[in-house]
Amino acid sequence: MKTYPGGMKMKKRSLSLVGMLMIVALIVAACGSGNNETGGSGVSESGEVTNKKVKLMRTYHAGLEQFKGSDNINSNKLYNLLKEWSGYNINYETLPKDNASQKISVILASGDVPDLMHIPGKSDYFKLAQQGSFEPLDDLVEKYIPNLSSVFSKEQLDAARLDGVLYGLPVRVAQKVGNGVLIHDGVFKELGLKDPTTLDEMYNVLKTIKEQKNIIPLTAAASNPGSFMGAFSPISSMYGVGNTTVEKDGKLAFSWIQPEYKTFLETMNKWFKEGLIDQEFAINKDVKDKMITATAAMSVLYWADAKIIDDAIAGKGGTLNSVRYIDPPVGPNGQSGVPEQSLANSFVVIPKQAKNKEGAADYYNFLLEEKTDTLITFGIENEDYTVEDGKVVQTPEQSNEIPWRTLYFNLDTDTSFNARLGAKGFLPYYNQLLEHKQNREETAYAPFIEAYDTKLTELSNYVAENSIKFIMGNRDLSEFDAFVSEFNAKGGQKAIDEMNEWFTSK
C-alpha cells in the first residue's frame, strides 16, 4: 500500500487548512449579514402618501387553492378594483401553512420585508415585538387609520400593547364560539330521552344509552397535544373550571388546580369506569366516524364538524338533521357554558424595516372603508350580488363563485362571517351554539406577560397529560394535591402571580 511520505507535515497542513476555511467562512458571513436598509420617506410635506407601492404578506388561506383559470391572488377582478380604488400598486404574498413562524423569522432577519404583514400566534407576535421588529403604530394609526376606532374597542387594542406601545392590530375573529355538546338525535328519539339540563340528568342519559343500546354514550378525541381541554370543556364548565383561569377573591387563579377541578376529574373518572365515556378517548384523533355510524351518541364538537357529520349521515342514506347541539347542562352550583372564543390570535404589523410604512397604514385604512368592505365581503354589485330594498342579496352559488375573497381581509366582520357561513350551509349549526352561555377568559385581554405567556403551553400540556391519567385511573386522585404542587413548581405559581399584577391593577 502506498502512502504519502511525511504524515506529520500533512497533519499540520490539514489543521491550517481547517483554519483557513473557517476564516473564509467568517469573512463571507460577515459581508452577508450587514444589511440595514431603510426606506426613504414616501410622504409629501402635507402628509400625503406619495409612495404608492405596497407589499403585503398574509397567512396561508384555503382560498388560494380556489382560484379558477389563470386568476391568482395578484390577478383577479376584485384585486383589480382594489388596486384601482386605492391607487396603490399592491402585491400580495402568503406565508406557508406549516412552519409559518420560521418563514417570518428568516424574512425579518434578512431585512427584506413586506410593508404589511400578518403574524399568527400571540406569543410570536409579542416575542418579535420585544425584539424591536415592528414599527410602533400609535402615530401611524392617528394619522392614517381613522377608520380603526369603528372596529376595535380600547380594551381590544390594549391587549395588543407591549409596555403601552401598540405594535400590531389584532386580526379580528368573527367566530364567537367553537365547540358544543353535539348529540345523535336518532338515538335520543329511539330511547325517548330528553335533553339533559343538569349534571345529574346528563349522568342518567349517559347511563340509559349505555344500558339500553350498549353504544358509547360520550366520546371525545384527546390524542393530539392541546386537544384535551376543548374535548370536555362544556363538562368542566359545569364546575366553573372550563376556562384557563377563574376569578377568586378579586384575583385570577388557574382553573386546573382548583378543588372544583378535582371534583370534575372525580366525576369523569367515575363515568369512565362505568363505561359512559369512550374507553379510547385518549387515543382518538377524530370522532366523526363514531358519530356518523352512531356507535357514539354524544361528543363535544366544532360547528363545522357538526355539518360534516350531518352531511355524511345523509350521504349514507340517513336523514338530514340527525345531529344537533344541546344547551350546555348546568352544574351543581348553577355554572355552565363554553369558553368564549372571539379573541384575535393573529396580528397585522408593519415591520421596522418596511419601505412604505405610511402607504401600508393608508392601505389598511382603505380596506376598512365601507365601499371596500362591501367589495371584499360580497364582491361586485349585480355580478356577485344584488341589492333589494337596500339589503344585499347573494345566492350561495354567487358566494361560492368567489370563495377566495376573504384573502383580502385584515380582519373578519360579523356580516361577512355570517354571509359566508350561510352560503356554505354552516349557519344552522353555528347559530345553535351562539345561544350558549359564553364564559369570558380574562387573561385573553391581558397584555404580554412573560412568565405567563411563555409557560402556558407547557403548563396546559402538563395538565392535559395528568388529567387524562386521573380520568383513566392511571394516576390516583388522592395525588391531586401532589399534582397541584408539581404544577406550581413548574412555573404555574409564578405565571399566575405575574398575571395578577396586571389584573389587580386594572
Partner 1 sequence: MIRSRGEIWFQYFNVAFLSLLSLSMILPFIHIAAKSLSSEAFVLAKEVYFWPKGFTLSSFQYVLENRQFFYSFTNSVFLAVVGTALSMAITILAAYPLSRKNVPFTRFFMVIIVITMFFSGGIIPTYLVVRDTGLLNSIWSLIIPVLMSPFNLILIRNFFMSVPDALEESARIDGASNFRILRSIFVPLSVPALATIAMFYAVGYWNSFFNAMMYITERRWMPLQMLLLQLISEEGVNDLAMIDAFQEVTAETIRAASILCAVVPILCVYPFIQKYFVQGIMLGAVKG
Partner 2 sequence: MNAFKQRSPWLRYWDLYLMLLPAMLFIIVYKYVPMYGVIIAFKDFNIMKGIMGSSWIGFEHFRQLFMFDEFPRVVRNTIIISFMKLIFGFPAPIIIALLLNELVLKRFKRVVQTFTYIPHFISWVVVGGIVIDLLSPSSGIINKVIQSFGLEPIFFMSDGQWFRWILVFSDNWKEAGWGAIIYLAAILGINDELYQAARVDGATRLRQIWHVTLPCIRSTIVILLLLRIGNVFDAGFEQILVMYNAMVYEVADIIDTYVYRVGLGQMQFGLTTAAGLFKSVIGCGLLIMANWMARRMGEEGIF
Q: Which of residues 173-202 bind partner 2 (CB under 8 A)?
A: none
Contact of residue 60 among partner 2, partner 1, none (CB under 5-8 Å per partner type)? partner 1
Q: CA dihedral defined by 389, 365, 383, 399, rounded to 10 degrees? A: -90
Local structure of residue 150 (DSSP, 8 states): G
From the list partner 2, partner 1, none, pick the one residue 206 interacts with, judged by a Cβ distance below 5 to 8 Å according to partner type. none
Q: Which is nearer to partner 2, 465 or 498 (CB)?
A: 465
Q: Taking CB under 8 A as the rule, does residue 280 contact partner 2?
A: yes
C-alpha–C-alpha distance, residues 155 and 170, integer Å: 12
For position 477 contacting partner 2 by CB under 8 A, the verdict is: no
- Tell me how far, at minimum, the Cβ of 107 lies from partner 1, in Å: 9
Among 15, 26, 62, 320, binds partner 2 (CB under 8 A): 26
Distance, CA of 46 to CA of 104 (rounded, Å)? 34
Which of partner 1, partner 2, none lies near 129, with the C-beta cut-off 5 to 8 A by kind? none
Given partner 1, partner 2, none, residue 98, with its beta carbon under 5 to 8 Å by kind, binds partner 1
SS3 content of the chain, % helix, strand, coil (to 5): 50, 15, 35
Backbone angles phi, psi at 447, to 5 degrees: -70, -175
In the region spanning residues 250 to 279, those forming contacts with partner 2, defined by CB under 8 A, are 279
Q: Which residues contact 346 (CB under 8 A, 6 or more apart)?
A: 59, 118, 119, 120, 121, 125, 170, 171
* Helices 414-424 and 427-434: angle between axes, nearest 10 degrees: 130
Stretch that binds partner 2, among 29-37, 70-78, 89-97, 190-198 (CB under 8 A): 29-37
Residue range at the interface with partner 2 (CB under 8 A); choices 158-166, 390-398, 422-430, 457-465 = 457-465
> Cβ neighbours of residue 400 under 8 Å, at least 6 residues apart?
423, 424
Nearest CA-CA partner of 453 in 127, 225, 172: 127
Grid cell digits, residue 341: 372564543
Is 265 or 376 the residue whose CB approaches partner 2 more closely?
265
Tell me the C-alpha to C-alpha distance, in Å, between residue 75 and each of 79, 80, 81, 115, 373. Answer: 6, 7, 10, 19, 19
Output the DSSP codes for 240-256. Answer: T-SSSEEEETTEEEEGG
Task: List the single partner that 269 binds among partner 2, partner 1, none, CB under 5 to 8 Å by kind.
Answer: none
Contact of residue 124 among partner 1, partner 2, none (CB under 5-8 Å per partner type) = partner 2
| Residue 279 site contact among partner 2, partner 1, none (CB < 5 to 8 Å, cut-off depends on kind) | partner 2
Among 59, 66, 91, 105, binds partner 2 (CB under 8 A): 105
Q: How many CB atoms lie within 10 A of CB 415?
A: 14
Residues 321-380 that bind partner 2 (CB under 8 A): 352
450 residue type, one letter: E
Cα of first residue to Cα of last residue in the chain, in angstroms, is: 82
Parallel/antiparallel/unpaired status of strands 323-326 and 386-388: unpaired
Alpha helices in 131-194 (DSSP H): 138-144, 154-158, 185-191
375 binds, among partner 1, partner 2, none (CB under 5 to 8 A by kind): none
Site for partner 2 contains 25 (CB under 8 A): yes
Q: Select the binding partner of residue 131 from partner 2, partner 1, none (C-beta < 5 to 8 A, by kind).
A: partner 2
CA-to-CA distance for 356 and 359, rounded, in angstroms?
Answer: 5
- Least separation in angstroms between residue 181's CB and partner 1 is 16
Q: Could you say which of partner 1, partner 2, none residue 61 binds, taking C-beta under 5 to 8 angstroms by partner kind?
A: partner 1
Of 25 and 380, the one with the shorter C-beta distance to partner 1 is 25
Identity of the residue, 34 or 250, whose beta carbon is nearer to partner 2 in the bound complex: 34
- Residue 461 interacts with partner 2 (CB under 8 A)? yes
Considering only the stretches 50-58, 124-132, 142-150, 298-306, report the one whose residues sit in contact with partner 2 under the rule CB under 8 A: 124-132
Residues that bind partner 2 (CB under 8 A): 4-5, 21-22, 24-26, 28-30, 32-33, 101, 105, 108-109, 121, 123-124, 127-128, 131-133, 222-223, 225, 228, 279-280, 282-283, 285, 295, 352, 457-458, 461, 464-465, 468-469, 472, 474, 490
